[in-house]
Every structure is written in structure tokens, then in C-alpha cells.
Structure 1
Amino acid sequence: MEEETIIIAALSTLTSSQLTDLTSSILSLTLHHHGRLSTILCSPSLFSLTLHHLHSLSLTHKTLLIAKHLLSSLHHLTRHFHLKTLIPPQPTTTIKRRDLDSALLLLFVCDVHQEHPEILKTPHSEWREGLRKHCSDTVLMQSSIGVHYGGVLLPYIEMVMRCWRFVGVMAGCTVEGRKVAAAPAAVVALPAVEVIGGGEECVICREEMSEGRDACELPCGHLFHWMCILPWLKKTNTCPCCRFQLPTEDVFGEIERLWNVLIKIGGGVLNEKDVDHGCSVDVAESQGLIDL
């Protein structure tokens, strides 16, 4: 099952007003990114500085740069999913202007390398003019699509997928088996609830939680002694019972968490459609965005 299809299916669960708001905000963000890239390509000094910064970065740092951009994009895509058992409050994602400029230029150069490699076969001093012309042609072509759900969301999802592949191929973006701590902001936001009835066991210490005492409740609904769960969350962001993931400040861990959320929601939608109709689900049918 294509991951693009799954992401689109996840977005199809949003209400019409949420989808409109998401589309508008993504359009605004896309225009901002186009503006930054155009500014870089139109300014010889800014282009030279940004390209020099990219050349100074190791492969690991380039991958981290794209990972931060991907994380910011995933937070944007998932911000309307408020289901308690899926996404707790997310930590704020910020990316410095120099990092954003570098990420945008790096992604654009990678696209050009695939589509028009002849532009990059010239000396570095001649790159800017060729890239600038290609950028102008690309923006003009995209602007002719029109402002509708498919015309805005699909290119954005494609950009997210390019970042995901870049990070995955170049860094092996997987945190399976690697523990990452829960974000302090997410831990502070956890509610204290009164234990009613007693008899329930804290799976960390294996002792009963006394009736009337305060316990920590994770978004998945499982209860734990505060003195047990706090040290646990300093080491890992997963629930000891069901492996539910809390937000983390680790970039790659948070990418995995949000990616899994989209896959879980979208996969559930497509599986339901498969059961209902007994056939495979087309991209357009699964999300209903293009025809709206």
C-alpha cells in the first residue's frame, strides 16, 4: 500500500472546515517557502552564503537539516488530529532561517539533479542563474493548477515524501530498539487522577495502587504510580503496557511517532474501505480531496 495513499486517507478523516484551514495554512506556508527560495536564488550573496554553508556540512548534518524540515512539516500535517489516544500535545517545532534556507536549497538542488542534471554540470558560479530560471518555471507551472485541496495538499505531501526518503535512505531513519525520552512538556501535561476501587496494579513496580491515591494517567488510559512512571519516561517515551508513544524532543523519534500516527489513521480508513467494498482503494476515492 503506497504511503502517499495512506497519508491522503488520514487527511480524509478531517472535517471540511479542518481541511479548509489546513489547505489555507499549507498554501501560505508553501508561498513563504517559494518566496524564501526565490530570494536566495535572486541574491548572489545570499545564494553564495547558503551554498557555502551546505558545502561545509557533513552528510550527517545535511540529513539532520532535512529531518528538522520534515518534522516541522509533519507537525503541520497532524495538528488537526486531536484524538486523545493518538496525539498528545506536541512540543513547538521551530527551524532557524538559515537552516530553512539551507534545507529549501538542498531539496531544490536534489530535485533539479533528478529532473535537469545538466544545470548542475556547469561550474558552481553558474548554478544560480540556471536554478533561478528553473525555479521560476516551476512556480509558474504550480500556480496554474489553481487553489483547491488536491492542488495544494498533494504537492505538499509529495514534498514530505521526498524528505522522508532523503532522511530514510541517507540516515536509516528508524528508532526501533532505540529508547528516546519523553518531552518534558508532554510529561508535565500528564493528568493526575484519583484511583477508584483499588486493586489495579502498577505494571512497573507490580504493586497495587491504593484507592483514593493520585495516579498518573497516560493518554492511552493506563495508570501508574507517579514515582514509577516519571523515571520511566526519562528513559523512554512509550507506555509500559501498550507501547503508546508520547512526544519526544528527539528529532528522529518524533518523526517516527508522527509518521506512525498518520499511517495508523490512514491505514485504518483504507482497511475499512477494503472490507466494505472488497476491492483495492483508489487514491482519489480514499480521500475525496481532489473533487471537492
Structure 2
Amino acid sequence: MSRSLRGWCSMVRCLIAIICMFGFPALMHAQSENEIRAVARISIVVTATDQARKYGSGFAIGRDGFILTARQVVGDFEPARELIYVQFGSPNAPRYRAELSDCSSGETTDACLLQMSGSDLASAGVNTFSPLGCRSLSVFESIVAAGWPGLEGNELDRVQGDVTSILDNSLYRTTALASNGMSGGPVFDRSGRIVGLVKSEPNANEPFTRLMITPMFRVQALIRATPQTCETNYDPNAPSSAQPQVVLPQPAMTFVICEGQNEVRCGPYPYDYYVGCYQVDSKIAELCRGRPAQRSSVRPSEGGNRCGYGWVRVSC
């Protein structure tokens, strides 16, 4: 074999090795910056010192402010002496308060649900959400994961790898390496759906650990507590034109508010909520949590003390 041919063969083998190492990015759904913006940096802050004791990741799943994360991130949270904050977009972005809503039960399910104000989520510029996929993954399937490294000031990490093995249908091993702090971040499949959460055991002596996945079908009980749904049957390799829109429609709320000085005057007509004079806007903001609201009058206003009486139908 000639030297030039041997050199060409070496280049081909090198190229194949690189492709095998990094996968086929063109075949993966490219996460938009809007989708990635929904990835949250989570910090547990000691109230007395205002210093972060722990960092992790999570992701917003809808406009209502629900955030999924790993239990290893917030499972040891002490509400009597600590606060949970979330940030979106950059390490220096404003931080917002979040509350621990619920954690899944069972040793094999490492997930918790946080909730922040929907209006705060909108203020953070998060308005695009990836669909959720609750199907089983396959060995050799390609994934992309995202999360915030543990060191303060670092930018969002995105890593790609393949599933290598499945442990009791509860945990998936991958070839990807996760930096400390990525735990709780989203794991995407080829279609762009979120199919799991990053699980990585932090190691003080090692900046990276092998990325493992807690599959979304293991956290369906948590998801059912939110307005979101998680698809179980779909083709992850279907053409992008056949995939659903990234921005999920949010379930609409419709209710009637009666405004007036005395609730007894609201009685002749159906209503869901009563508010005092000039309090309609604040009630809509409370119920819609930052969602766009449309209002229409149910019936003509009636005269009365101070502000009269009105019935308003609101959808958001």
C-alpha cells in the first residue's frame, strides 16, 4: 500500500473515530436558545448569610411556574433556615424565589417539583417550553443534556452522548460526562422532547462524573400535579415537520368575577369570585399568574354604592 493511500486511510479512521465519539449532531434536534433559556440554575441559600450552600439545575415545564429538578439538588432543603432561588439565561441574571412543592417517592426516583410565580417566570423571559416524553429509551440512543456547572459564574453546559445500559428500567447510563451542578437538568432525545433528568453524583475530587438519566416516565406522578402532559407513544426519529410545536398550548382558565361594595348584591347572577371595588385587576393577576388575560362583560354594570356592580368573564 502506498504511503499516500495509508495516510488517506488513517484520516478516514480518524474521522470515523471522531464521529463515533461525538455522535451525529445533524441528526439531533437543535435546541433553540429559547428552549435552553427554560433551564434553571437552582441555588439553596442560607438565610442568615445570604450565601449559597448548594447549586444544581432544573427546567421550567410551563407558564405556571413549575420546575422539575433532581431530588439530590433540593431533597435536603431546610425551609426554617434556607431559601430556594432560581435563575435563567445567565449566571448574573436576577434570581427569583421558588418553593418546594413535592418530591417523588421511592429510592429509584430522583425528582422534585418546585414552583415559582408565573409572573416571575415571564419577567425572566422564559416563554418557550419543550414537550415532555415519557417513553423508554434504547441502548445506543443519542441524547443531549443541559445544565449549569456548580461553580458560580460558569455558563450553561450542553453535552451529548449515547445510552449504554439500563439499570432495572429506573436509571440509564450514558457515555456523556456531566459537570458537578448539572444534576436536575433536562435530557433531550432526537425529537427535542425532554425524556429525563440529569443524575450525577457530585465528587469533590472530580469535576466531571458519568452522566446518568432518571427517565421522565418515573416522575409522571409529579407531572400530573401540573397542567402539563407527557407523551408516551411517539416516534423520536420522525421528520421534524411531523413533530409537535415546541411551545405547548397551556390549558385555559375561564371564570367570572363580580366586583362591588357588598357581595350580597352579586347573588342574582352566577359568579366564581367576588372582589371589592377596584380590585378586579389584582384578582386577575393573582389567578392568571402572568398569563395573558382576555376579559369581557357578562352583563351591563349596575349602579350602587361607591363603584357600582359589574360581572366580568376572564380567560387566561
Higher relative contact order (CA 8 A, sep 6+): 1
**Which TM-score band (shorter chain)?**
under 0.3
Q: Which has the higher helix share?
A: 1
If the length of structure 2 is used for normalisation, what is the TM-score?
Answer: 0.23
Which has more strand, going by share of residues?
2
Relative to the length of structure 1, the TM-score reads 0.24
